Structure 1
Amino acid sequence: YQTSIYLQVGAYRFLLLSFAVVDILISIVHFVAVPAIIMTEFGFIFYGFRFMKASTAVGVWTDLLFVALFYQTFVLLAFHYVYRYVQLCNPSWARWIGQDHPWRNWITLVIVMDVLYIGGFMLAIKGGFLPDDVTRRSFEPIIKEMYNIDLDADNLPGYLGINYRVRQSDGSFMWSFQSLVALLLVLLLFFGSGIVIVFCIWKVKLAMGKADIHLASRTRHLQHQLFRTLLVQTAVPTATSYIPLGSVFVVPLTGLSLGGWGTVSMMSTALFPMIDPFLVIFLVSGYRARLPVIVRRLVSSAAASVTPMT
């Protein structure tokens, strides 16, 4: 059973591997950049704390890298469910995927989904989050008072910031149509992936109930474990990443100023990449049983490579 799990999981193990790789990359960029967020009554600013001494371009590209990696998890989660849905339900519109060169078709599909999804976020960022004189003037006194960071320094630090409402000369605020459109695009992408996930969960659950009577006991047990693991892989980041970070986008619309609490929300996004591999190992019994074997082999290899001193 320990070795046959790889045959039963099939290509799905590569999706699990891709999730692990993205988790590792997010953790690395999180450590290197130390991202922070300040929430105000009119918007929020996101920046990499360790890159505030760098030029505007370096700071912005670092922030964009973090954003692109972070939202990869949305694409991968949705694609996990789409894959399970197509494999179990075999819908007529998706039968072309497995008919001719399935590997090529799946890879093409995930690349297209990824480009469209991340491209949508980049379009939203271009429309309302890139540094400009308005956001720099708005956030400069706040960030200088809180963290002694000068946005008007000679290097003009890079950041991603959005003003939902722009302060007028008389002290009043006026809604920014461009910023609200950028926010709407972000929310559409966010909830769009959520709708795909919910739809696939519903269809997969129905299909698994019908298929149980036709599957071997071992295969049925593994399929249920993988589905349960995927549900946990959705619930945990929803609680630790998506809801906290989603509040960063929405709360400023209410006029509340939460200041550095945005950074706390950002820090919580680092939790899931750290615990995700353990979720897979401990929730899928085949991987759990295989782990001691892998550890023993690594220890044996390390011991064999040590040359005894005479």
Structure 2
Amino acid sequence: MFGSIVSEQFYYLYSSLTTGLSCLNNLLLIYVLAVTHIVQVGPYRFLLLTFAVVDVIISCVHLALIPAIHMTEFGYIYWGYRFIHESTAAAVWAGLTWVLLFYQTFVLLAFHYVYRYVMLCSPEWLAWFRRRPWRNWLVVTFVADVIFVGGIFLACLYGFVPTDMSRKAFAPVLRDVYGIDLFSPNAPGYLGIVYWTLNERGEKEWIRWSLFMIGSICFLFFATAAIIISCIVRIILELSDHRFATLAPATKRMQKQLFQTLLWQTIIPCITSYTPLAMVFLVPLTGIAMDGFGTVFIMSTALFPMLDPYIVIFLISG
């Protein structure tokens, strides 16, 4: 059992179903964007295509990994069931692959908002985007990936990979609840963080390095959220401005549809992905053990890649 909350059979069935639907729905969206003329959005279709491709990849990795999380009062541990019998390095890199793909969606979503803001509002301080648009947008994308995804990668590499301390801390609960022996000959790999330990006097002692690592991840997380919120506010102000009222009705309708689509592409993952993962990061800091609910949280992240194509197709083409 997955923390006595979700059965193993149900999780495998759930992952197979969500991955299958995600691949089918996103391939349909890719076809609509690449072949048909339902969506007349110009270069923006390439951003939507990129999002669809990432959705397919992350769904397939989710099924290949079957990720699980157990939340204790002192931290949390994340591992892949399909890699529990592999070497430490193989399991760690498999887990990192899913993590980096998941955080890639943050970068893409923020990039969508910046693109809509630049194209709709045409701010003077970002006028250089229009001079050589393809080169400039590619450079910005590359730099954002290096900073954001690279930062997440370094935080995981230096704060979450297996250590003797974390292996000893999580070994009892994984053995008792899941029947997983972290000290078996293959030394199963995982990503885990311990926020505090008990010293010789039985007092709680916070681990500063762990707090710095989770703080770095939260900073990157909320920095992206700040970019999105800032763009939302500016776009709403632009749409309500008198200058927007002078646009042709078809152009005005398309701009509103694109913005509504983007809002739903933010609201749904906030509910199914970002909020659950934020709880995984932050709840253990309060000393509350949510145990196998961490697996339920990570299962919910498989929903958005499956639903995203419907949002794009029905809101834009509607």
Normalised TM-score (structure 1):
0.88
Q: Name which of structure 1's ranges 165-174 and 198-207 shifts more when overlaid on structure 2.
A: 165-174
Displacement of 1:128 after TM fit? Answer: 1.6
In the aligned structure 2, how far is the partner of 1:241 from the partner of 1:170?
Answer: 39
In the aligned structure 2, how far is the partner of 1:168 from the partner of 1:30?
Answer: 38
In the aligned structure 2, how far is the partner of 1:4 from the partner of 1:25?
Answer: 25
In the aligned structure 1, how far is the partner of 2:43 from the partner of 2:311?
Answer: 19
Report the counterpart of residue 278 of structure 2 in structure 1.
246
Report the counterpart of residue 77 of structure 1 in structure 2.
109
Report the counterpart of residue 88 of structure 1 in structure 2.
120
Aligned pairs (5 A) from 1:44-59 = 44-59=76-91
Report the counterpart of residue 283 of structure 1 in structure 2.
315
Letter in 1 for 2:118: V
Please say if 1:153 is aligned against 2:184. yes
Q: Deviations over 1:47-82 (max 9, x none)?
A: 111101000100000011000000011001100000
Please say if 1:201 is aligned against 2:226. no
In the aligned structure 2, how far is the partner of 1:230 from the partner of 1:255?
Answer: 36
Q: Name which of structure 1's ranges 183-192 and 86-95 shifts more when overlaid on structure 2.
A: 86-95
CA contact under 8 A between 1:52 and 1:158: conserved in structure 2? Answer: yes
Please say if 1:234 is aligned against 2:230. no
Aligned pairs (5 A) from 1:86-235 = 86-99=118-131, 101-210=132-241, 211-235=243-267
In the aligned structure 1, how far is the partner of 2:224 from the partner of 2:315?
Answer: 24
Displacement of 1:89 after TM fit? Answer: 1.5
May I ask how many residue pairs the two structures share in their alignment? 283
In the aligned structure 2, how far is the partner of 1:136 from the partner of 1:69?
Answer: 25
Letter in 2 for 1:12: Y
Letter in 1 for 2:152: F
RMSD: 1.5
Identity %: 52
Displacement of 1:5 after TM fit? Answer: 5.5
Displacement of 1:98 after TM fit? Answer: 0.9
Structure 2 segments unaligned to the other structure (5+ residues): 1-32
Please say if 1:13 is aligned against 2:39. no
Identify which of 305, 310, 316 aligns with 1:273.
305
Identify which of 65, 68, 78 aligns with 1:33.
65
Please say if 1:22 is aligned against 2:59. no
Report the counterpart of residue 303 of structure 1 in structure 2.
none
Q: Name which of structure 1's ranges 21-30 and 165-174 shifts more when overlaid on structure 2.
A: 165-174
In the aligned structure 2, how far is the partner of 1:207 from the partner of 1:192?
Answer: 23
CA contact under 8 A between 1:19 and 1:76: conserved in structure 2? Answer: yes
Structure 1 segments unaligned to the other structure (5+ residues): 289-310
Letter in 1 for 2:98: F
In the aligned structure 1, how far is the partner of 2:127 from the partner of 2:244?
Answer: 22
Letter in 2 for 1:116: I
Displacement of 1:111 after TM fit? Answer: 1.1
CA contact under 8 A between 1:39 and 1:260: conserved in structure 2? Answer: yes
In the aligned structure 1, how far is the partner of 2:273 from the partner of 2:249?
Answer: 36
Displacement of 1:125 after TM fit? Answer: 1.3
In the aligned structure 1, how far is the partner of 2:105 from the partner of 2:313?
Answer: 19
CA contact under 8 A between 1:45 and 1:161: conserved in structure 2? Answer: yes
Normalised TM-score (structure 2):
0.86
Letter in 2 for 1:258: M
In the aligned structure 1, how far is the partner of 2:134 from the partner of 2:247?
Answer: 25
CA contact under 8 A between 1:127 and 1:179: conserved in structure 2? Answer: no
Displacement of 1:91 after TM fit? Answer: 1.7
Q: Deviations over 1:163-184 (max 9, x none)?
A: 0002334544310000000011
In the aligned structure 1, how far is the partner of 2:229 from the partner of 2:162?
Answer: 36
